[in-house]
Amino acid sequence: MTSEGPLVDLDFGDTSSHGGPAAPVNGHFRPIPNGHPGPVSFESISTLATIHERVVLSQQTNESPYEKAPSFRSTATAASNGDQRIPKDAIVNSNGLLPSLSSVPLFGSVAGDDKQSVKNNSHSASLLLAASSTSTVATTASSAVTTAATVDIGDGTSLVLPDVGFEGITLDSGIDRESQPLLGSRDHEITYNQFPDDPHFSDLVYSAEIAIDAGIYPERIYQGSSGSYFVKNPADKVVAVFKPKDEEPYGRLNPKWTKWMHKLCCPCCFGRACLIPNQGYLSEAGASLVDQKLNLNIVPKTRVVRLVSETFNYPRIDRQKARIKKTIKERIPAARFNRMSLPPKTGSFQLFVEGYKDADFWLRRFEQDPLPTRLAQKFQIQFERLVVLDYIIRNTDRGNDNWLIKYDQPTILPTTPASPTGANGSVPNGINGGGYIPRSSSRLEMMEHTDWNLVQLPEIKIAAIDNGLAFPFKHPDSWRAYPYHWAWLPQAKQPFSQDIKDLVLPSLSDPNFCEELCNELYELFKQDKGFDRGLFERQMSVMRGQMLNLTQALKDGKSPVQLVQMPAVIVERSKVNPGSSRFFSFQQRFQNKSPFFSWC
């Protein structure tokens, strides 16, 4: 069968009582004398429509549309008598009136593939019909609105033609639907970065994508040993830090030359043998997950997203491909590509925190100017939360330059014009006519002239960033120990407070909580293409051992320094019954091997 349709040879049967079948001549129907069959062509009927109510009825009643259908003999007879009705099962195309589907066998069910014959009685007539590919017969269950259109054929009679309109379907579109893909065109890109459980985070990522489309590209952060970027919103304000997977310290597209020199000059000491390479972005998101599960609230919210930007570090071939596609699209607008832009990069997307400085800056200040007692207690609680987080995830890169402190010193707030006045209309003490509290070099004068309701109380908070080198699959046992640098601080020598015990000890003592945390980390880590279930189980074994030590230290009232001096424990999970997947047993063992250097 060609694209123009098969040739159909039909025998209309006995039409002697009506003077033969009707054939259009110059747009008018004229009967053909009996015994003189010949080819019939329909040239002037220009209305394109598709009507087959029998198909609609069959879909509603589960009845075959080809059963109980009237034969085409009555159709030809009605046409010869000038009947104004078109049979319900007739099909009208650009060349005229086709026989009903009930009288034409489908797909060569009667002998012949391109030529089919239907024999009725002694008289016959042949009809050559060419079905145009642009006049596609659409038989659907869509609701059709049919109205009658009357056409005068010139001899005093009129022919009623159906006017068919389909909702959502255009018959004369000029498109050959046989050449269209079954699943439609890919006009819409696959959407990523959707987080139904956190609409606010989704909106923030979406605003960053809009900014990139508007030409506000992420800016590379020149500090550090990996490719990381400040991501902005359409208002040109930094909202997050994005760290692509392939630009991590040991990634293949790391734009920083320091790690390249490290690998080139000292390959034996390159990398960290206890970590899985190029999974730092998962470690960043995993640290945020642990922080949320324990309600520590010290890690800025971090998720795994995919972004595209010209400022990212791409291979030259990817940039050339994108440039060639853009040129082809400009010259040939009809050209289509699966992706026009550069390939998206997967990485960690961490919310940006404002007002924070490196911990090293404030720690030096606190040595010279100690904090007040009440504020020092707040800082101690925040510090203990950092200790809990780092110890559970076994962070191997916690220096004083990759955790932040925000310290809002007490300030005197300016008054507003709507400030309350005294009973006699006088201004309260400490407020001058300009609306501000006067400055004084004397603390006594400050106490006398200050309304303490207008003083902003000091605040101190900690933000744990740079968690990309955590979740090892074994404790460090080769050259370096990768210690926690906060262990040398004076705050680490104080025993854990009751506040931190009440916060995390109930969760850490619950085995179900531990397994739930491992399952959520599994759902996070498995999205990496290089995910290995065996290595993941080893990572969780280390984390279980850390949680076990931490639980014991909190119960015994130890300090963070005493916590890090406890022997490294590994808690491995194994199946009780090899054929069962529900019951597990846990085995505890200690790590005997120690790294060569314990101080670095």
Nearest to 204 by CA among 176, 182, 232: 232
CA angle 509/397/386 to nearest 5° reads 40
CA distance 116 to 113: 7
Number of H helices, E strands in the chain: 13, 18
pLDDT tens, residue order, the chain (600 aa): 444 444 444 444 444 444 444 444 444 444 444 444 444 444 444 443 444 454 444 455 554 444 444 444 444 444 444 444 444 444 444 444 444 444 444 444 434 444 344 344 434 434 333 334 333 433 343 344 444 455 555 556 665 555 554 444 444 444 444 444 444 444 334 457 889 999 999 999 999 999 999 999 999 998 888 899 999 999 999 999 999 999 998 888 988 877 767 766 766 666 788 999 899 999 999 999 999 999 999 999 999 999 999 999 999 999 999 899 889 988 898 888 877 789 999 999 999 999 999 999 999 999 999 998 999 999 999 999 999 999 999 999 998 888 999 998 777 666 554 444 444 444 444 444 444 444 444 544 555 555 545 666 788 999 999 999 999 999 998 888 899 999 999 999 999 999 999 999 999 999 899 999 999 999 999 999 999 999 999 999 999 999 999 999 999 999 999 999 999 999 998 765 655 556 678 888 888 788 877 777
The CA R_g of the chain, rounded to the nearest whole Å, is 40
Could you state, in order of their start, the residue ranges of all structural domains in the chain? 199-351, 357-411+456-576+584-590
Tokens for 417?
Answer: 């014009």
pTM: 0.63
Which pLDDT does position 343 carry in this prediction?
92
SS3 86: coil
* Residues in contact with 44: Cβ distance below 8 Å, sequence separation at least 6, in sequence order: 24, 26, 27
**Model pLDDT, residue 252:** 87
Which residues, 6+ apart, have CB-to-CB distance to 15 below 8 Å?
A: 21, 34, 73, 76, 77, 80, 123, 125
Phi, psi angle pair for 506, to nearest 5°: -60, -35
Altogether, the residues listed in the chain come to a count of: 600
> Which residues are within 8 A (CB) of 79 and not within 5 positions of it... i.e. 6 or more apart?
21, 22, 29, 97
Burial code (b: 16+ CB inside 10 Å, e: under 16) for 125-150 equals bebebebeebbbbeeeeeebeeeeee
> Comparing C-alpha atoms, which of 351, 464, 355 is closest to residue 402?
464
